[in-house]
Amino acid sequence: MNLNDMILISVDDHNVEPPEAFIRHYPEAHRAEAPRIVKRDGKDVWTFQDKIIPTIGTNAVVGRPRSEYGMEPDEFEQMRPGTYDPMARLADMNANGQLGAINFPTMPSFAGNTFFQFNNEAATRATRAYNDWHVFEWCAAGPGRFIPMIILPIWDMKATLEELKRMSDAGVHAVSFPDNPSKCGFPSIHNDYWDPMWKALNDYRMVINCHIGTGTVAAHASDDSPIDAWITTMPISIVNSAADWLHAPIWKKFPDLRMALSEGGIGWIPYFLERADFTHEHHHEWTFTNFDGEKPSDLFKRKIITCFIDDHVGIENLHHMNVDMVTWECDYPHSDTLWPNCPEYLWESVKNIDKTVIDKITHLNVMREYSFDPFAILGRENCTVAALRELGKDVDVSPRTNLGGRKTDSMTVAAGDRKPVTSGEIIKMLTAGA
């Protein structure tokens, strides 16, 4: 096996919704209330329910030189078209040798968090409109290339169950959900409020996808701390939620449920599992936790899907994990992505392991857990890095420079006077005009 033989399906990419995405899928009687793009101070911003959602493409910097990365863009013209145009995305996936992808939303936030604040029928309509755009436009543009994933109106259990049934009937097998709903103003995952939803997800064979930052946000030491420190801990920040899910009652009640720790990385997992087992062995007699004779690590390895972008330590420690539940991610169009060179980076970390394991973590695990079969549509021979890059050989992947966008003061001063960009500066930039 070599680099060109790999088949790559990412469990964590992102789409940026184009200006008409919601409007096209609203019932006519309510179309005037649909989220839409307006210009404000020269920037493209979303507006919904008389509120401004200021950042249209948070960190959608793919294709820029790294020296021009930031937390914007502010306008669609500053983004690579593959962020918001599904046909352009397919071309970029071909150039990257990438077969498939799950995409998280941007305007609604990764788990639909933008709509949580409204908690009304208008937000439910917006949620449904996003799902319709995502499933029937974005994913439909590339049969066998995109794994559809929906968001839910979780403030309304009846509407949530209706949406799960509607989307299951449309062939959807993935939902995005906060990694810690209690941080979003909802009951915790230990509360039986969620039981009807868990049952539906169990019955419809839908994977719960919990992206970092959707509930528990990575802490930063202070506003003066370099943003690098915050970025370093972002994937690992899901560890607290992972421990909570590991001890949730849902696994006994709904035995076919699966969840994914999206963009969480894998290098930390061996120690996490060791610590969970130690805690159970050492403390369960007084804490009364009950894993029915198993270790916590046994349950984790069966139920929880993990993923990585570039994680040599994790690959070297796969023997401490379940290789049937480890997957790969691209993270297009965010600044952690290695596009268009993902195969080269990935091959460096996996080239010395067995081909059967490579196939599992690059595509077979995703296909099984998400009920996704691109081979039936495209033919396996057309799904390899080599075959797709041949299709994408004319895609321009050269860096796009000087696209504009907001920059903090420390990013625009003369190079010799530059100081590290801080967490506080980034927060100020993201919340400006909110």
**Bridge partners, 176 (sequence order):** 209
> What domains can you pick out in the chain, each with its CATH number?
3-431 (3.20.20.140)
Query: Given this model, what pLDDT does residue 67 score?
Result: 86
State the Cα–Cα distance between residues 78 and 404, nearest whole angstrom.
7
207-211: strand order across its sheet: 146-147, 100-104, 9-14, 326-328, 304-308, 259-262, 207-211, 174-176
State the Cα–Cα distance between residues 339 and 363, nearest whole angstrom.
18
pTM (two decimals): 0.95
- Please determine, for residue 434, whether its predicted confidence score (pLDDT) is greater than 80: no
Query: Given this model, what pLDDT does residue 148 score?
Result: 98
417: buried, middle or exposed (CB in 10 Å: 19+, 13-18, 0-12)?
exposed
Q: Each residue of 295-332: pLDDT tens digit?
A: 999 999 999 999 999 999 999 999 999 999 999 999 99
Average confidence score pLDDT of the chain: 94
Query: Given this model, what pLDDT does residue 410 score?
Result: 45
Q: Each residue of 258-286: pLDDT tens digit?
A: 999 999 999 999 999 999 999 999 999 99
Average pLDDT over residues 118-135: 97
Q: Each residue of 363-416: pLDDT tens digit?
A: 999 999 999 999 999 999 999 999 999 999 999 999 998 887 655 444 555 555
**Bridge partners, 327 (sequence order):** 307
Q: At 85, which amino acid appears?
A: D
